[in-house]
Amino acid sequence: MNKRTDNLYLSLEGDRYTPFSLAKKLGAEAILESASFSQGSARYSILMLEEAFHVIEDEQGVAIVSEGQRKPCDSRNILEALEKIAAENEKPPQIPLPAAGIGFLSYEFCARCDTIHLAKQKDGLQIPESEFVVGHIYIVFDHFTDTLHLFGLNYDEHEIDLSEAFARIQKKLSNLDFSYLEASTEKYPYRIITDLQKSHDEYVHCVKELKKRIVAGDIIQAVPSRRLQIESQMPALETYRRIRSLNPSPYLLYIDFGDYQLIGSSPESLVRSHGGKSSIRPIAGTCRRGKNEAEDEQLKEKLANDPKERAEHLMLVDLARNDLGRVSKPGSVHLTRNMECELFSHVIHIVSEVEGENRSDIKPIQVLQSVFPAGTISGAPKISAIEIVSSLESEKRNFYAGAVGYLEANGDLDFCIGIRCTLKKGNIYTLQAGSGIVYASDPEREWEETNEKLGALLQVLETKEK
């Protein structure tokens, strides 16, 4: 494929800006940031300022949607369509650039990756199975050098006058008010729509049924989930601001799809494939945070030595090694982190990292398909666990436990798992959380674990800021 030669690039001093203040003042369509309690901020943040078109996959197939018009794509699935779009432009050296947009793959996309038979479930959200927003204008922040990298991309599917767009963005930047962007403390009334007692009873029943299937030898571990819906008029971008402040995580995300917005602070990478190497970062094993540093240390030690949590984590590390092993060079899969306890805003998790070298005949999107969905939100054996949980959950998961991320022009990719995320459609926020079920699981404790995982998002929507 011949690469386009009309893309534009400009480097600007960025010491006066922050990603969120610029996103708010320029009206960004999407934001990707990274931070954590243990490691601080990552090097790059990404803003999409002007969208080109959307790529969706639904029951009708894969399509490009632009200005209300739908054009079918000749691709077997959305990943193949995105790979073709990304390849139209050159990859800039060293700098991550979402050349095929930013978006999500639903959990149900797993049925397109393997021979998986999902039960017929209610589609409660009424949104595409998967969707990406492709952008014309991006700003990539380099926090190490205080530099703004401004990129303009055109596509065979949609073109604009990039020079005019750059001039418009530069004018906006030169006219920006650099005064402090005061954080809103406005209280937004909220109402929990979900029947919590019914949700509790259904989840506990699900856990008990899964324990029966474990005893029967059908599965070793499974991850059921529960949905929570809240009515609130809090703007989506304000929700993102409060989440990034309260719960800094390796994958902070805000994507405006038009009819709905996806906001989140995912702690867990699904897969990162870069320069011929791929890595998975399994997170399994959870307990609450302590009231102070001393209690945190006590809880970390207790978690690290909990037989049930250790067994669950080791099982999922083995699953990650197996998933990556199918697409890696023989003997190249190894652990780069092993069972480290990591602090998050409301919980402590056990974290490992598995890395492998891609086989020469394997593309990054094939790596993604091999590991999708993550074992930490499906179970083991993976396919059996997925199918059994699907028969017990009444609604499609959609964004929850799927993947959120982007592809670069050379095919490299970075996707997180769609957990600790909320989808806003109208004034309804949808949240979801699950827990890993093994033979020793206590149903009531598993319910409490889902509450702990929902804690940061609930605190934001209940506007109980510190």
- The predicted model gives 373-396 an average pLDDT of 95
Q: Residue 96 pLDDT more than 70?
A: yes
Q: CA 24 to CA 217: how far, in whole Å?
A: 52
Q: Residue 326 pLDDT more than 70?
A: yes
Contact 225, 432 (CB under 8 A): yes
Q: Residue 329 pLDDT more than 60?
A: yes
Nearest to 140 by CA among 246, 258, 17: 17
Residue pLDDT, tens place only, 351-369 = 999 999 999 999 999 999 9
Predicted pLDDT of residue 464: 46
Q: CA 160 to CA 96: how far, in whole Å?
A: 22
Q: Which residue has the higher pLDDT, 200 or 34?
A: 200
Q: Residue 426 pLDDT more than 80?
A: yes
Predicted pLDDT of residue 16: 81
Grade residue 30 by pLDDT with cuts at 50, 70 and 90. Answer: very high
Which residues participate in catalysis according to the annotation? Answer: 349, 376, 400, 420, 436
What is the reported pTM?
A: 0.93
Q: Residue 226 pLDDT more than 60?
A: yes
Q: Residue 441 pLDDT more than 80?
A: yes
Q: CA 57 to CA 63: how far, in whole Å?
A: 6
Predicted pLDDT of residue 181: 61
SS3 letters across 72-113: ECCCCCHHHHHHHHHCCCCCCCCCCCCCCCEEEECHHHHHHC
Predicted pLDDT of residue 344: 79
- Domains defined along the chain, listed by start: 8-178+187-268+374-461 (3.60.120.10)
Q: CA 32 to CA 46: how far, in whole Å?
A: 5
